Amino acid sequence: MRVEKLGSLTDAAALMQRLNVDKPGIKIMAKKSEIMLFLIKDLHVGAANILKQDALSVGADFAVPNGTITCQFKRVDGLLIGSKKHIEILARKELAQPYGLKELAKELRKYLGSKSFPLQIMGIINANEDSFYPQSRFMGERAIAAIEQMIADGADIIDIGGMSTRPGSEEISEDEEFARVKPIIDAITKKDWSVKLSIDTYRPKVARYALENGFSIVNDITGLESDEMAKVVAKFNAQVVIMHKKGTPKTMQQNPYYEDVLFEVEWFFAQRIQKAQAFGIKDIILDPGIGFGKRLEDNIALIKNLSHFQKFGLPLLIGASRKSMIDKIESTPIQERLPGTLALHAAAVQEGATIVRCHDVKEHRQFFTIQQALERAV
């Protein structure tokens, strides 16, 4: 007999398939291998005590402050710990409990039913002269050559924008933005590429022209603030990236502040998803907007807890490529931030990101190919 301790990257379901475990058994047992953590805030102390006992009864646990059992406090925060299977059973039990536990059960079920999406690499093309990373600036024919190289390097999506939205940037006119991207869009229409094309804009005129000419995604940093943009996206049955930001690009990094960044971003997503659906938009991607009106601690919280937004059942996009949060952690010039970028994006993918927006497509494709191979290997 030999015993092997398996690493945290092991894909339990894939391993059971290789062991020829019956399919219904794989479905049941894979849930037992996935540990889930839920921070539950402002819970009635009576609910906390019920949840603690119910969690223990199914093999999970609920960590609460000292004094909870004697009802020393009216409301408490706690950490719910259990496998996916434990949480499934617990959620069913709590549907019959008082003190708001029924509502908690409904929230937990949103995470249990979250969909899985294939990982996609989105390459960045900036048709301007002032984006924060000079090596991402490509105009005219240079843009076409850069796109073709990104496709060869393994890009699934190409995201093209004509206006910089870096912190402190000045807004340009819609006509100027259109003039920058139109030649690239026109040249693309002559190509036979298999990648998806995304237009990075919040201007309806620019989005409409791109969608008329083969693009299928609108990457809107305002998160569909414009009703006209929502109409354009709906008309072409396009996919939209709803991104969160606080303030305008020119002022957004001037002392941004959040009481609870996860709650504020979640609330924003809920409102804008509702708006998108009201206009008839069916295909939505969510982007927490790393660096868009965020402090370092906000960016870190969003990446570490990205799985919080899986409750919406939509693809999650992460875009931390070479951004200043890396420099704030370890002083590094933009040209040397690829290792930090890969670390941030790896953590985000581990937490549920399925679209990675980056400048360095080849390096990202290799990184995630190797990581996925490690997960599949025994």
pLDDT in tens, 94-134: 999 999 999 999 999 999 877 889 999 999 999 887 777 77
Q: What is the mean pLDDT of residues 320-335?
A: 96
Looking at the structure, tell me whether residues 150 and 262 fall in a common domain.
Answer: yes
User: Terminus-to-terminus CA distance in the chain, angstroms?
Assistant: 17
- Whether 266 is covered by a domain: the verdict is yes
CB 71 within 8 A of CB 47: no
Q: What are residue 368's DSSP bridge partners?
A: none
Band (8; pLDDT cuts 50, 70, 90): low
- Whether 275 is covered by a domain: the verdict is yes
> Is residue 212 scored above 60 in pLDDT?
yes
Ranges 34-43, 112-121, 346-355, most confident: 346-355
Q: What is the mean pLDDT of residues 195-220?
A: 97
Looking at the structure, tell me whether residues 157 and 304 fall in a common domain.
Answer: yes
Q: What is the mean pLDDT of residues 231-239?
A: 98
CB 232 within 8 A of CB 202: no
Given this model, what pLDDT does residue 4 score?
A: 58
**Of residues 230 and 19, which shows the higher confidence score?**
230
Q: What is the mean pLDDT of residues 156-166?
A: 90
Looking at the structure, tell me whether residues 246 and 354 fall in a common domain.
Answer: yes
Report how far residue 238's alpha carbon sits from residue 121's, in angstroms, rounded to the nearest whole number: 19
Question: DSSP labels for 98-133?
Answer: TTTHHHHHHHHHHHHT------EEEEEEE-SS--SS
CA torsion 298-80-268-326 (nearest 10°) is 20
Among the residue ranges 207-211, 246-250, 288-292, 295-299, the one predicted with the least confidence is: 246-250
Q: What is the mean pLDDT of residues 246-274?
A: 91
- Give the count of domains, the chain: 2
- Among the listed residues 166, 323, 337, 365, the single catalytic one is 323
Looking at the structure, tell me whether residues 51 and 165 fall in a common domain.
Answer: no
Looking at the structure, tell me whether residues 179 and 313 fall in a common domain.
Answer: yes
Mean pLDDT across the chain, nearest whole number? 92
Which domain range does residue 105 map to?
34-112
Assign 3-class secondary structure to 159-227. Answer: EEECCCCCCCCCCCCHHHHHHHHHHHHHHHCCCCCCCEEEEECCCHHHHHHHHHCCCCEEEECCCCCCH
> Is residue 3 scored above 60 in pLDDT?
no
| Residue where a domain stops, chosen among 56, 84, 112 | 112
Looking at the structure, tell me whether residues 53 and 177 fall in a common domain.
Answer: no
Given this model, what pLDDT does residue 9 score?
A: 67
Report how far residue 252's alpha carbon sits from residue 167's, in angstroms, rounded to the nearest whole number: 7
- Whether 67 is covered by a domain: the verdict is yes
> Is residue 5 scored above 60 in pLDDT?
no
Looking at the structure, tell me whether residues 102 and 158 fall in a common domain.
Answer: no
> Is residue 169 scored above 80 in pLDDT?
no
Looking at the structure, tell me whether residues 108 and 126 fall in a common domain.
Answer: no
Q: Which residues contact 53 (CB under 8 A, 6 or more apart)?
A: none
Band (263; pLDDT cuts 50, 70, 90): very high
Among the residue ranges 8-22, 47-61, 257-271, the one predicted with the least confidence is: 8-22
CATH of the domain at 133: 3.20.20.20
> DSSP 3-state assignment of 337?
coil
- Whether 134 is covered by a domain: the verdict is yes
Given this model, what pLDDT does residue 142 score?
A: 87
| Residue where a domain stops, chosen among 112, 141, 158 | 112
- Whether 288 is covered by a domain: the verdict is yes
Report how far residue 6's alpha carbon sits from residue 18's, in angstroms, rounded to the nearest whole number: 15
> What beta strand segments (E) does 257-315 contain?
283-287
Report how far residue 316's alpha carbon sits from residue 246's, in angstroms, rounded to the nearest whole number: 19
Looking at the structure, tell me whether residues 242 and 342 fall in a common domain.
Answer: yes
| Residue where a domain stops, chosen among 112, 129, 144 | 112
Band (250; pLDDT cuts 50, 70, 90): confident
357 is catalytic: yes
Looking at the structure, tell me whether residues 257 and 108 fall in a common domain.
Answer: no
CB 317 within 8 A of CB 285: yes
